[in-house]
Amino acid sequence: AQSVTQLDSQVPVFEEAPVELRCNYSSSVSVYLFWYVQYPNQGLQLLLKYLSGSTLVESINGFEAEFNKSQTSFHLRKPSVHISDTAEYFCAVSESSSNTGKLIFGQGTTLQVKP
Amino acid sequence: DTAVSQTPKYLVTQMGNDKSIKCEQNLGHDTMYWYKQDSKKFLKIMFSYNNKELIINETVPNRFSPKSPDKAHLNLHINSLELGDSAVYFCASSWTVEETQYFGPGTRLLVL
């Protein structure tokens, strides 16, 4: 069985500062990894995902995440955050050989960007 | 042209009632899901259907019954509502089980 741990429940940061949201996972099989973002009172949107290939994946709005198999981590980073990045961020995994698409989510990290 | 839509957006009801939440996707996806987000924002999958066939049924009370009349719809019926059912319920869909899941806006259920 897989599990996901997001190490920080809240991350306050000033605008234009760098940020890292940490995610560790546990699995005995190969996994796909995802970061989803949830803006207030909205559904989840995919930010980026790792399926295979390059371990560094990027989103269109400046976020990136690196898959580190030895440390079983998939931390999310952004070099300079904006007020509009304030949201809840969820890390998730799914078993790559599964035929169900079942996503296992972490507890979420609230990113609070202050002016 | 909403991709994944849910109705109603808000649902306030009394304990013991039966209610339904509807989900529709116009993306042509084959797979649809229901997730529950509790008051601590923890998300957990409940059900998944692929081409109208149930493929995931997590340890959910049998008061919850999903119904997929066609590939574009996955409705959630809840019998005998309890206080603990209060949560936000999200519907999602994807082309296949490996592809990105697209989420609806959520239905906020409050059981009094």
| Residue B27 in tokens | 């993306």
What region, left, alpha or beta, does residue A108 occupy, with left being phi > 0 and alpha being psi -120 to 50 degrees? left
**Residue range A34-38: mean pLDDT, rounded:** 95
Which of A:35-64 have CB within 8 Å of B? 36, 38, 41-46, 49, 51
What are the pLDDT digits (tens) for B36-47? 999 988 999 999
In contact, B34 and B97? CB cutoff 8 Å: no
A10 reaches B (C-beta below 8 A): no
Q: What is the pLDDT of residue B1?
A: 60
B45 reaches A (C-beta below 8 A): yes
**Residue range B56-60: mean pLDDT, rounded:** 81
Nearest CA in chain A to B42: A107
Interatomic CA distance for residues A86 and B9, integer angstroms: 23
Interatomic CA distance for residues A32 and A74, integer angstroms: 10
| Residue B16 in tokens | 């013991």
Nearest CA in chain A to B48: A100
Interatomic CA distance for residues A20 and A78, integer angstroms: 7
Buried b (16+ CB within 10 A) or exposed e, A56-89: ebebeeebbbebeeeebbbbbebeebeeebbbbb
- Within 8 A by CB and 6+ apart from A32, the residues are A49, A50, A51, A93, A94, A95, A96, B98
What are the pLDDT digits (tens) for A62-78? 999 999 999 999 999 99
Q: What is the pLDDT of residue B111?
A: 97
Q: What is the pLDDT of residue A30?
A: 87
Q: Do A101 and B100 touch (CB under 8 A)?
A: no
What region, left, alpha or beta, does residue B108 occupy, with left being phi > 0 and alpha being psi -120 to 50 degrees? beta
**Residue range B40-62: mean pLDDT, rounded:** 86
Q: Which residues of B touch A105 (CB under 8 A)?
A: 42-44
CB count within 10 Å of CB B9 equals 13
Q: Do B96 and A105 touch (CB under 8 A)?
A: no
